[in-house]
Structure 1
């Protein structure tokens, strides 16, 4: 790695791993592969402010379990020899009827260690404390244990952590998609901001103000809940029962390095590779 200034490593090659969270589900963009943009694409656009020739690969695929991320994505990531890797994995395992948290986090830690040994700077995430969501609320205990195991290996391995669990400002419906499980475009924007903050990169990413909060009558709320149950929850439960995934037969958005400048959007986003204090509440 080269440096942008004294003691500051330059990020020339960025690889994103994981599931729907990293792929960008909830942030629709029909001009991009798989029809989504997401926070990782936004981070890549910001990193291009360091070097217009930065390479960016996004290997994440919606619905992937930990085994899929490790077995399918890790070998390709190692072959790309990235300077920076972001990983969010395990969320789909937690949503399964049964899960061995120690086993999946052990695989997660081994994956991170392999990437570190390969020369990459690695950033990982905890799960969000979405107690307002009935799915998350039922699994809160699992998520809390999973998060503590992630914090432990992040400390042990010396990797950076976006502690999503502690970001209370994400408990805003405007930051979540209609399916209540994925971030909205505004949510992805703010997550990109948080990733850049944890990386300690001074940037010019601008967050537009959120639209006014939607005010629903009791009748409108019941109608919305019924629509969500029919259009999202029922198909989601059916996939859990049948062992299928929304990502079956899908390919990664960017399986090899692409020129970030050709992705479009975010032309005003840039970073300079310098530590900076950023507000944690947006």
Structure 2
């Protein structure tokens, strides 16, 4: 199997840090899970870059992904678009469908992936919730009409709980990435490895002091980047632009 993942920080693996400062994430775990389940090495590439909107995901990642000659491409995008006011959601839906068609036309299997729902911890999360609900419903419809597999993490009620998210409340914690990887493997017809931790102990609502710290350390810097046109992904490149071999354990 030759597996390529494209997307933004969700697919890159932000929130699941390794000791050396690099990130792992659900797509890395899926590659390992596929190797373990099949007993065969998996060639794996990950072109995702944090901060990317849907347009550059398609423009900058899809072509190189197809050029690698994969048998499977996981596609996720639109999460950063949803966080911005005035997003043209019908355009996001239309572009998602076109991207899937390009993958199918290349005789590659696409896996459409809906991101997890972070809105419990976000300011004005109800607005993001509405956009996410709209995009996910449209994605389910697209997958059904096009006959492609889909992994709907947005509708997983467990992933929506606080304990599955990192301190910035936008990116999954390690246990969240493992749960997403489990969902993805299930969508592909495989079980997750028995040593994965996909359940977390509940945590309480943040205190007022926690909220103030969160605003100072995460919300205000995010707003600052938006106002200055900067992105968390500026200057970054894909972590696995070429295939790496993942052997079964």
Question: TM exceeds 0.5?
Answer: yes
1:56 corresponds to which residue?
44
Do the aligned partners of residues 142 and 215 (structure 1) sit closer, same or farther apart at CA in structure 2, a change above 3 Å counting? Answer: closer
Residues 119 and 128 in structure 2, CA contact (< 8 A), matched pair in contact too = no
2:213 counterpart SS class: helix
Specify the alignment match of 1:193 in structure 2. 182
How far off is 1:52 after superposition?
Answer: 4.2
Question: Which among 28, 32, 35 is matched to residue 45 of structure 1?
Answer: 32
Higher mean C-alpha displacement, 158-167 vs 14-23 = 158-167
> What's the counterpart of residue 204 of structure 1?
193
Matches within 5 A, 1:167-246: 167-208=156-197, 210=199, 212-214=201-203, 221-246=207-232
Tell me, in whole angstroms, the C-alpha distance in 2 between the residues paired with 1:148 and 1:30.
38
Which consecutive unaligned segments of at least 5 residues does structure 2 have?
Answer: none
1:16-43 CA-to-partner distances (Å, cap 9, x unmatched) read 0000000000001144xx7100000000
Larger radius of gyration: 1
Distance 1:23 1:233 in 2: 21
DSSP-derived class of the 1:166 partner: coil
Distance 1:205 1:88, change over 3 A: farther
User: What is the Cα-based RMSD across aligned positions, in Å?
Assistant: 2.0
Aligned 8 A contact 1:46 1:205 in 2: no
Distance of 1:209 and 1:148 partners within structure 2: 25
Q: 1:245 to 1:209 in 2, by over 3 A?
A: closer
Q: Conserved in 1, the CA contact under 8 Å of 2:122 and 2:169?
A: no
- 1:36 and 2:20 are equivalent in the alignment: no
The reply to whether residue 256 of structure 1 matches residue 239 of structure 2 is no
CA contact (8 A) 2:7 2:49 kept: yes
Could you say what secondary structure the match of 1:122 adopts? Answer: strand
